[in-house]
Every structure is written in C-alpha cells, then in structure tokens.
Amino acid sequence: MRNLFNYVERNSLIHDLTGATKLICLLLWSFAAMCTYDTRFLVLLPILSLGLFLLSNIQLKDVSFMLGFTAVFMVLNNVLVFVFAPLHGVSLYGTSHILFALGGRYVVTQEQLFYHLNLVLKYLSTIPIVLLFVCTTNPSEFAASLNRIGVKYTIAYSVALALRYIPDIQREYHEISQAQQARGIEMSRKQSLFKRLKSAGTILIPLIMSSMDRIETISNAMELRGFGKNKKRTWYMGRPFRLLDFLAIAICVGLLVTALVLNYLNGSRFWNPFA
C-alpha cells in the first residue's frame, strides 16, 4: 500500500473532471442517497454508478479489496439490525405481514425484509461512488479541490502533506520495529495486553521523536518558500472548470432535488408499498 488514495491513472471522462467537481458531486450524491429511503430512487443510484464505473475504465480488480471490505460491513450491519430490532420494519411501515416465525421474539416480516433491502441499496448507492472518487482523483489535486470548495488552504495543504508523508512514516515504522524486535521486543499475541502496549511504546516513541525532527524541517522549508504569506494561493495541479464539470454538477444537483421532492411527495423519508 503506497498511498491512502488508491489513485488509478487511466484516460476517461471521469478522470477529465476536475478534482473539485468530483468532490462536489460526491457530496451532492451522498446527501441525495442519505436523505431518502425511497426504494425506487435507491435502485436508480447503483445503476447510475455502475454506468459511471464503466465510463471511468476502472476495473473490478482495482477496487476488489475495498468492495470486499465494505461487503463484510454491510452484512454485519444487517445482521445486527435484525438481532436488535427484528420489528423495526413493522414500526416504520405501520403494517405487519408475517412470513414465518423463528422463535422467541424473532419473526420475519415482509416489512422487515423490505427495510433490509433498503439498507443494502443504501450501501450500493454510496460505496461505489466513494470508491470511484478515490480511484479517479489524483491525490495532488485533492488538496486543490478542498481549497476550491472553500476549505482554508493551510488546512487543505495539510491533507496533501499527510499523503506525502504517510508512505515515509510507514517505512520508518517498519524499520524501527525490525530494529526493536532484534532487541527482543515482541508484539505477538503471546504477550499480555499490558506488555504489548509497553512494546508498542518502544516503537512509537522513536517514531514520534524522529517525526518531530521531520516536522521542524518541513515547516522551515515551507516558510522559507513563502507558505502562509498570502491569504490565497494557486495550485499547480488545479484545473479550470469546463462544460463537462458544470454538466456533472448540474446532474448531481438534480439527483439531490429529486430525492428531496420524493421525500415531500411520500410525506416522509420512506416510500411505503404496504400502505
């Protein structure tokens, strides 16, 4: 793992959008997906994002790890909801169509299953689009995008710096832990928790100390090259907005508006087929 951002460089329409556009679209899309439980809308979003994936030339193997990871979460989330609130769907939709009983207070209802379907659709509406953002946004452009949507550049730049230094710090952590292992520090599960915490200290303290040296160097280097001089700054990787960018933002605004209108028409965040 070289970078937090698993940027995949390809040629595509999605890659051509500026980082700021993608960030704005991601936010609009996520709001839209979060604010409604209208199943018709939630079915639309995964289909749309599948289309975007095809457009972006990102392949399944580029994102398979993260997809697997979130799939586990999704399953866990659903199981826990059912265990703790088997009748949540009933109280939401106000009717109860029992399919079969599992014993105790556990009954499977159409309403509950429908609610779970919505939960799954929510995952499918948001996760792929986040992955798409991560895979198609050049990390260098990310700080510039944050700045463009109004985040102060000093804060935006600290994100870029973190991306710059994370691989270095990972490598250093690895080296320090090897040298400390040679001195007999064990981090394995054979040790008690207290001992393991103590062991972690023997790696983390040197890591922190050498990172402090790093911070002094980098802050000197940045100041000497005029960081913080002006209220604004430009970005080497920043790109001007083009027609495509405005179009993408307009579509995502449309999605959010649709979601809000649906909520209004449904009278609540839920679309109720049982009524």
Minimal CA–CA distance to 52: which of 8, 14, 6? 14
The span from the CA of 90 to the CA of 247, in Å, is: 41
Options 181, 258, 266, 272; binder of another protein; rule CB under 8 A: 181
Nearer to another protein, 61 or 105 (CB): 61
Provide the minimum distance between the beta carbon of 27 and another protein in the complex, in angstroms, as a whole number: 23
Q: Does 189 bind another protein (CB under 8 A)?
A: no
Provide the minimum distance between the beta carbon of 209 and another protein in the complex, in angstroms, as a whole number: 5
Options 227, 241, 266, 274; binder of another protein; rule CB under 8 A: 227
The span from the CA of 159 to the CA of 143, in Å, is: 6
Nearer to another protein, 189 or 229 (CB): 229
Asked if 177 contacts 200 with a C-beta cutoff of 8 angstroms, the reply is no
Which residue shows structure tokens 């779970």?
116
Distances (CA, A) of 67 to 10, 23, 123, 203: 20, 20, 11, 32
Considering only residues 157 to 176 of the shown chain, the ones binding another protein according to CB under 8 A are: 160-161, 163-164, 167-168, 172, 175-176
Considering only residues 199 to 218 of the shown chain, the ones binding another protein according to CB under 8 A are: 201-203, 205-207, 209-210, 213-214, 217-218
Provide the minimum distance between the beta carbon of 151 and another protein in the complex, in angstroms, as a whole number: 16
The span from the CA of 269 to the CA of 147, in Å, is: 33
Q: What letter would DSSP give residue 12?
A: S
Distance separating the N- and C-terminal Cα atoms of the chain = 50
Options 59, 95, 178, 268; binder of another protein; rule CB under 8 A: 178
Provide the minimum distance between the beta carbon of 76 and another protein in the complex, in angstroms, as a whole number: 34
Which residue shows structure tokens 């100041």?
223
Q: Which region, judged by CB under 8 A, interacts with another protein, from 10-18, 85-93, 231-239, 253-261?
A: 231-239
Nearer to another protein, 77 or 181 (CB): 181
Minimal CA–CA distance to 40: which of 236, 228, 262, 191? 262
Asked if 49 contacts 128 with a C-beta cutoff of 8 angstroms, the reply is yes
Considering only residues 114 to 143 of the shown chain, the ones binding another protein according to CB under 8 A are: 139-140
The span from the CA of 36 to the CA of 266, in Å, is: 10
Q: Give the residues lining the site for another protein (CB under 8 A).
A: 139-140, 160-161, 163-164, 167-168, 172, 175-176, 178-186, 201-203, 205-207, 209-210, 213-214, 217-218, 220-230, 232-240
